[in-house]
Structure 1
């Protein structure tokens, strides 16, 4: 099993690739099995039974599929693919996490539709390619490309599965080889649920290794350690253990680093950690101000403008619904800092979504705003809450919308940072966190707790809060 240090190194490096939009996924059958789909052996078992072959003793499944086609034609095999993989299943937690991450390139040998379905559920538009002609077209507005290099379940007659299919692959689907080669050179891949024994992939990796030698790009794969309970006999366990070790060593030729886990649940845990750490780089600002006490409007706006500038300067991405009285100053700071740095783009540092105001029906407006908040907050990992008051029939009242955003941030597992010193709803929320510190920041350091407490201490000028907020944010990112 890989050490915690090795796992952390992987998470650090792959996170860096995610932030630079250089990450890709190569998914095998193991990613789909928890959703109720079968692996290759289970898929071909009925066909092996018809041939009188023990599927457990067979290692060359490509040839086995060919044997059955030789005796029975292709129709029976096509029907088995459709029967076993044509059912509609919900994406797994791993699919959902991968779909939410900023991954624009997915390759898979799977025939099922789980990857594209999970992307759609995440609000993304997938451009799915399972024929050569589709490689030459681009779906307008796409968020991710899904390359199904062995075909799609709805077109089982052209699925790559037999020896004939593999032998003709470079004639029939040669452009896929070129496309995959380009992606493996330019992106860092995570191979997940994949045995890395596919002849087509092996050919592509070999070409890259020969061309780039020791300069190959680093990739990663995750394997579960072979255990005795997974094997029908001691002899098979010993065989599989030795083989896994040899495979891991062989993958080093292609600069593929293997991460070993004891249980498949550890893969989900690592992906959750990866998502959490990615989202921490986006800070959501919640707040509103009709009344600017305990300070004056000019001081508050100066502070918010500076906060926006500093967050961008520190490499954070910001999200804001442009709250009343605070949003414009904050946005000004963000935009000013982005334009000061050559090569930066607003879209890379800001998610700015003013709330739609002109919805006459009160119920429709409330429902729309609620969904709007969920979408915006769900893109962040940290939420800052500032002030939070509004005009209510001539009286300054606490802003219920800020509390609703706090509750949503809780539900979505964001780190919450109410600025208690700013008063109003933020003060109440700060008190709430302090009273249940372990509930909001379980297992956190004493240093983070002390830093957070400073956010509730009175200051004469809000600018005095800037260094405290940044210090707390940076400590959260280290947790």
Structure 2
């Protein structure tokens, strides 16, 4: 059970609130620069172009205009950029795993990604999260739509698997506004209609500079507010105090320039703080997603009808309060969850989709190579990765001719605790839920929550013998806004 980091700077907390709001409204987009991939282990432009500089007998450390450096090499070789293309393939084709930042963003309901990177880290992270990514790196691809896509990834400088078409040298940049005009139009439209978070970006790209300036001129004071996260200037080893203060003055001026084109800067002292910010945004989002764990062969001390009505009414009320529900379609419980959410959605004139309900029925027979229990564990980890709150009801199953406690519910509880998910065992439903409620009451630390004393009192009611199912329903609905 986690809360936001109280030691975050005030401007970081404001950024989290603003981006969380945009995320909830479906307006948040990501723009990833080279720094976002470097954290995974890919090279920066200087390391990429070092062999090129060596060929030209130049020192890459002394070169600041690397696009022109790449152009020099092409000029010397009669416009032949074969070595450049090979460097791109060699450096960015390796199977490097996405960073934690990539994984967090992929779990969030973000539908639009822009990047100047050639690698496939964003796509890999989305695919690992079972999301269908529609990648665009040519103008022709803009005219087609991948069926059932979950996110669009615009790679405005090309893709490693098509190195000969990548934007690399000054010729490519100069022709961009003609050859790639549809990308400029698409990005301009997104900058107008969405709120961008720029990550790993130095804002030295001439194409982006051109687009930002056109949007600013057209919309002036009405331009949308975007955000970026940058690491604050720090004094290098051996750097004089005067030189450091000079860079600090430039940092202030650069912040003002970005604000002029609609981008507000939030600073961090260490890059690890970016991960903390993204985790806090995910935490805020996940608070509105509930995992319902339940399985019942025996509904005692309640009747089957009473138990089903309780789960049905609770699921319906949760959905009405704009929470998303995740369920593994547990024995004797799953149908009531579906009915509650479905009825509430239809009553509101909506259609049932992943914004209201995610169902993950467990496979019952082993077909592939993995043992069934391993598949179930991975299933549970995947479901709970999306949740901020987990509710546990009943928790028993029939084994042979004997009713036993649900080991699956125990595992789901343990996974939830490991992932900082707020757990709500409904102890009055008995079985495994009763045992989990007893554990929670022994270990719950109300000092970690702003409304800790109120939460403790409500949690206690969920295991009190005097509490009936109707009151448990009220208690849970009263608990959720306090978490």
TM-score by length of 1: 0.91
Quote the residue 1:389 is aligned against.
396
Quote the residue 1:350 is aligned against.
357
Q: Is the 8 A contact 2:131 2:150 kept in 1?
A: yes
Pick aligned residue for 2:411 from 396, 404, 411: 404
Q: Is the 8 A contact 2:88 2:163 kept in 1?
A: yes
For 1:342 and 1:377, how far apart are their aligned partners in 2? 28
Q: Is the 8 A contact 1:231 1:237 kept in 2?
A: no
Answering whether residue 49 of structure 2 is matched by residue 44 of structure 1, we say yes
Q: C-alpha displacement at 1:219, in angstroms?
A: 1.2
Quote the residue 2:171 is aligned against.
164
Q: C-alpha displacement at 1:370, in angstroms?
A: 3.6
Q: C-alpha displacement at 1:307, in angstroms?
A: 0.9
Quote the residue 2:387 is aligned against.
380
1:137-187 Cα deviation digits (max 9, x unpaired): 222332222111111223332221222111100111111101111121222
Quote the residue 1:288 is aligned against.
295
- Residues 316-325 or 340-349, more deviating: 340-349
Answering whether residue 304 of structure 2 is matched by residue 297 of structure 1, we say yes
Quote the residue 2:326 is aligned against.
319
Pick aligned residue for 2:347 from 340, 344, 361: 340
Q: Is the 8 A contact 2:327 2:359 kept in 1?
A: yes
For 2:273 and 2:374, how far apart are their aligned partners in 1? 37
1:123-134 superposed matches below 5 A? 123-134=130-141
Contiguous gaps of at least 5 residues in structure 1: none
For 2:392 and 2:314, how far apart are their aligned partners in 1? 13
Answering whether residue 189 of structure 2 is matched by residue 182 of structure 1, we say yes
Quote the residue 2:121 is aligned against.
114
Quote the residue 2:3 is aligned against.
none
Q: 1:423 to 1:194 in 2, by over 3 A?
A: same
Q: 1:321 to 1:78 in 2, by over 3 A?
A: closer
1:222-261 superposed matches below 5 A? 222-229=229-236, 232-234=239-241, 236-261=243-268
- Residues 441-450 or 135-144, more deviating: 441-450
Q: C-alpha displacement at 1:226, in angstroms?
A: 0.8
Quote the residue 2:420 is aligned against.
413
For 1:85 and 1:398, how far apart are their aligned partners in 2? 50
- Residues 420-429 or 289-298, more deviating: 289-298
Q: C-alpha displacement at 1:85, in angstroms?
A: 2.9
1:86-123 Cα deviation digits (max 9, x unpaired): 33322111112112221221111111222122222222
Local SS of the residue matching 2:39: helix
Answering whether residue 335 of structure 2 is matched by residue 328 of structure 1, we say yes
For 2:180 and 2:90, how far apart are their aligned partners in 1? 25
Q: 1:154 to 1:392 in 2, by over 3 A?
A: closer
Local SS of the residue matching 2:391: strand
- Residues 52-61 or 154-163, more deviating: 52-61
For 1:32 and 1:123, how far apart are their aligned partners in 2? 21
Quote the residue 2:21 is aligned against.
16
Q: C-alpha displacement at 1:302, in angstroms?
A: 2.6
Q: 1:247 to 1:3 in 2, by over 3 A?
A: farther
Q: Is the 8 A contact 1:299 1:461 kept in 2?
A: no
Q: CA RMSD in A?
A: 2.6
Pick aligned residue for 2:74 from 69, 75, 90: 69
Q: 1:364 to 1:159 in 2, by over 3 A?
A: closer
For 2:92 and 2:246, how far apart are their aligned partners in 1? 30
Answering whether residue 35 of structure 2 is matched by residue 30 of structure 1, we say yes
1:286-333 Cα deviation digits (max 9, x unpaired): 112233223333332332222112211221101112222222223222
Q: Is the 8 A contact 2:428 2:467 kept in 1?
A: no
For 1:367 and 1:52, how far apart are their aligned partners in 2? 56
1:205-240 Cα deviation digits (max 9, x unpaired): 122112222222221100000100378554543343
Q: 1:427 to 1:230 in 2, by over 3 A?
A: farther
For 1:456 and 1:230, how far apart are their aligned partners in 2? 60
Q: 1:274 to 1:234 in 2, by over 3 A?
A: same
Q: 1:92 to 1:233 in 2, by over 3 A?
A: farther
Local SS of the residue matching 2:154: strand
Pick aligned residue for 1:458 from 462, 465, 476: 465
Q: C-alpha displacement at 1:59, in angstroms?
A: 2.8
Q: Is the 8 A contact 1:335 1:346 kept in 2?
A: no
Quote the residue 1:423 is aligned against.
430
Q: Is the 8 A contact 2:461 2:467 kept in 1?
A: no
Quote the residue 2:449 is aligned against.
444
Quote the residue 2:12 is aligned against.
7
1:273-295 Cα deviation digits (max 9, x unpaired): 22222222110111122332233
Q: Is the 8 A contact 2:291 2:387 kept in 1?
A: yes
TM-score by length of 2: 0.90
1:184-223 superposed matches below 5 A? 184-223=191-230
- Residues 395-404 or 98-107, more deviating: 395-404
Q: C-alpha displacement at 1:366, in angstroms?
A: 4.1
For 1:442 and 1:94, how far apart are their aligned partners in 2? 29
